[in-house]
């Protein structure tokens, strides 16, 4: 220990022997490998975090080609790691988002290095699910050039469906399923506003 700090060292020793095969000289060297060991430990910790994370994690190169995914990704999508490595995230696209959605996403990533939002994706069995996604650009320290993207995502389908059910209950009669007066008022308000713009009349049926 030096200054109450543990130092990792790599040691080597070389022996010289006389004619009787007895060692008479030893030469050695010590190399401080603390930084390397700390880097290895940090990488090991990062790997464990990815392995046991409760969110889906996808790591890509600068061209969005997938390099690695974690077990939660497989649990969430049904795709095994070997099925998606070498492909892009569009492989499990739901088709619910238009071209502009992804253009805006990439524009945000390029300008700020991060993007956060909700994306509908498709599981391997074809069922659709909604994810809350965070994407971060990882840049090289010296050149500031993007070399990886890391995406973390959670499945929020159940929360979304619950929200839609509550919205429906708030605007519909629970017994008949028909729109209640709150929804009726909103629709009349919209119809009146449109009638004013188009100078048409509104009739109630």
139 CB-near residues (< 8 Å, 6+ apart):
113, 145, 146, 147
Chain segment 154-170, per-residue pLDDT in tens: 999 999 888 887 776 66
Residue scoring higher pLDDT (143 or 188): 143
CATH code, 54-156 = 3.30.450.20
Q: How confident is the model at residue 177 (pLDDT cuts 50, 70, 90)?
A: low
Instruction: Return the closest-CA partner of residue 66 out of 47, 79, 85.
Output: 85
Distance CA 42, CA 32 (A): 18
DSSP state of 20: T
Residue holding tokens 């109630």? 204
Chain segment 114-138, per-residue pLDDT in tens: 999 999 999 999 999 999 999 999 9
- pLDDT at residue 66 is higher than 50: yes
Q: The pTM is what?
A: 0.63
Cα Rg of the chain, angstroms: 30
Q: How confident is the model at residue 34 (pLDDT cuts 50, 70, 90)?
A: low
DSSP state of 60: E
- pLDDT at residue 105 is higher than 90: yes
Domain boundaries, the chain: 1-52, 54-156, 162-198
DSSP state of 124: T
Q: Is 70 exposed, middle or buried (0-12, 13-18, 19+ CB in 10 A)?
A: buried
Q: At what angle do helices 157-171 and 181-198 cross, to 10 degrees?
A: 80
Q: How confident is the model at residue 144 (pLDDT cuts 50, 70, 90)?
A: confident
DSSP state of 156: -
Chain-centroid distance of CA 80 in Å reads 16
């Amino acid at each position: 220990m030096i200054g109450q700090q543990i130092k990792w060292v790599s040691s080597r020793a070389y022996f010289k022997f006389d004619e009787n095969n007895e060692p008479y000289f030893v030469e050695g060297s010590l190399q401080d490998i603390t930084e390397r060991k700390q880097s290895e430990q940090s990488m090991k910790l990062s790997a464990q975090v990815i392995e046991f994370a409760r969110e889906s994690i996808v790591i890509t190169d600068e061209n969005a080609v997938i390099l690695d995914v974690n077990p939660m990704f497989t649990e969430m999508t049904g795709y095994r790691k070997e099925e998606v490595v070498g492909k892009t995230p569009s492989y499990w696209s739901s088709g619910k988002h238009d071209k502009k959605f992804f253009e805006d996403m990439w524009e945000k990533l390029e300008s700020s290095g991060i993007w956060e939002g909700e994306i509908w994706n498709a599981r391997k069995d074809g069922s659709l699910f909604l994810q809350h996604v965070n994407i971060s650009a990882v840049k090289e320290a010296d050149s500031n050039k993007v070399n990886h993207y890391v995406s973390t995502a959670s499945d929020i389908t159940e929360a979304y469906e619950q929200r839609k059910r509550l919205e429906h209950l708030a605007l519909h009669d629970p017994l008949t399923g028909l729109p209640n007066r709150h929804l009726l008022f909103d629709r009349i308000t919209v119809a009146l506003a449109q009638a004013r713009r188009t100078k048409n009349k509104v009739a109630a049926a």
